[in-house]
A and B are shown apart, each in its own frame.
Chain A
Amino acid sequence: MQAADKLVDLVVNLSRVPWGKRRCEIQRELRSHIEDFVEAARAGGHGDDEIEKMVVASFGDPAQIAGAFAWVYRWERAAAGAGLFLLSSVVVTSLMLGAVLALQAAMAIGFGTPLQKVLASPHTAIEALDIFFTVITYTGLVALERLFDRNRSVKALTLLAVAFAVLTAVRMAVNYRAPFLAFGVVNGAFFRTTQVFVKTGMARTGIVAAALAVLGAISFPAMTFRFPYALAATCASWLTMAAAYRQMPNAVARMDATLWRRLQRM
């Protein structure tokens, strides 16, 4: 009964039920139903080939059944998604921050700047906040996309835009400035949009490089460089950040896939 097994597996896979135990339970129950059906059909004198066709015909559309299961377990899926989002955000932020700080520390040593001055500077705190808000926006979009069946990216971006608008209104009402949050949301949304809508890696790198150049052209004239090597150090720091952000989608995708796979085994 290969077709019947495939049918059950398809329902379970399309259902997006997160917990492995629950998925096994659904699989077991549907298989048990098909066994009953097959037994009754055999008793009715039908042959195996005919029964297989009967199972497929009477079972219903797998996508529709999976959709109904997805609706039943929507809150479990949302809770699992929120857990994955938090864990993924923390891990990817830590990895990116670690990598960026290590590279910048190495460059600082190269430029003859004391290490402490680099790592304990306000600039490092700003970078950490930028990375943090960018990563949570990116992983947040990935988590939101999981809630929808169609037009996932557009719907997730719309939800993010609404949430950001509400947050901005609240911030303005209480007169609280949070430039890192705004940077992170725009940056995270930019990287997610690029990842989803631009198909080749080369084109994505080109877009990131172009965006970096535009940002540099806008920002550099407004900056004052007190040391002769400051411009070079700033450029190197920016390139490091851009390279780290360029790698962020891969890190999030790997982390997300690993965590989701583990969850489905639990």
Chain B
Amino acid sequence: MEIDREFLKGSISLLLLNLLSRGEMYGYEILQEASRRSANAFEFKEGTLYPALHQLEKKGLIQSEWRTAENGRERKYYSLTPKGKKTGREYEKQWQHLTGAIAAVLESK
């Protein structure tokens, strides 16, 4: 099922912070992980990931570091900052509260 871009827009920060809370990752890996964990529900256009990552980095929620893999491939790894960990938890609570409230409205008669 294709998800409306507007829905995704508001939740991308939460998604990225949550994925990175499981360990540092590079861009391509983040997309693969998001796709795998959501059973391919999150298949957003790949280029759109990077501005979102840069935005989070500017806000001081994540940090990045270039590293060279054994095969010589350079990759930029992202990881959460302490502020990012705290914000991620906060976003998660807000999201659960919001989805709970929306579900209550949708299920009400």
Query: Chain A residues in contact with chain B, CB under 8 A?
Result: 11, 26, 28-30, 32-33, 35-37, 40, 58-62, 64-65, 68-69, 71-73
Query: Which one, B13-21, B68-76, B88-96, is touching chain A?
Result: B68-76
Residues from chain A with Cβ under 8 Å of B45 in the complex: 58-61, 64-65
- Verify B46–A37 contact, CB threshold 8 A: yes
- Verify A58–B46 contact, CB threshold 8 A: yes
Q: How far is the CB of B2 from chain A (nearest CB, A)?
A: 14
- Verify B28–A36 contact, CB threshold 8 A: yes
Q: Is B36 an interface residue (CB 8 A)?
A: no
State the 9 A-B residue pairs at the shortest beta-carbon distance, nearest first.
A60-B45, A68-B51, A36-B28, A65-B47, A60-B47, A59-B47, A72-B55, A72-B54, A69-B51
Beyond known contacts A37-B28, A72-B55: 10 more, CB 8 A cutoff: A26-B54, A29-B50, A32-B27, A32-B28, A36-B73, A62-B47, A65-B48, A65-B50, A68-B48, A73-B54
- Verify B58–A33 contact, CB threshold 8 A: no
- 1/0 contact trace for B26-50 toward A, CB 8 Å? 1110000000000000001111101
**Alpha-carbon distance between A26 and B51 when the two chains are bound, in angstroms:** 9
- Verify B27–A72 contact, CB threshold 8 A: no
Given A28-B74, A32-B73, A36-B28: A64 in contact with B46 (beta carbons within 8 A): no
Query: Chain B residues in contact with chain A, CB under 8 A?
Result: 26-28, 44-48, 50-52, 54-55, 58, 73-76
**Overall SS of chain A's interface:** helix
Partner of B47, one of A11, A40, A72: A11
- Verify A29–B27 contact, CB threshold 8 A: yes
Given A28-B74, A32-B74: A71 in contact with B51 (beta carbons within 8 A): yes
**Alpha-carbon distance between A61 and B5 when the two chains are bound, in angstroms:** 13
**Alpha-carbon distance between A113 and B82 when the two chains are bound, in angstroms:** 74
Residues from chain A with Cβ under 8 Å of B58 in the complex: 72
Residues from chain B with Cβ under 8 Å of A62 in the complex: 47
- Verify A60–B54 contact, CB threshold 8 A: no
- Verify B28–A69 contact, CB threshold 8 A: no
Q: How far is the CB of B19 from chain A (nearest CB, A)?
A: 16
Look across to chain A and name the residue whose beta carbon is closest to the beta carbon of B57. Answer: A72
Complex A-B: 10 CB contacts under 8 Å: A32-B73, A32-B75, A33-B28, A33-B50, A59-B47, A60-B47, A65-B45, A68-B51, A69-B50, A72-B55
Residues from chain A with Cβ under 8 Å of B50 in the complex: 26, 29-30, 33, 65, 69
Look across to chain B and name the residue whose beta carbon is closest to the beta carbon of A29. Answer: B76
Residues from chain B with Cβ under 8 Å of A33 in the complex: 27-28, 46, 50
Residues from chain A with Cβ under 8 Å of B55 in the complex: 72
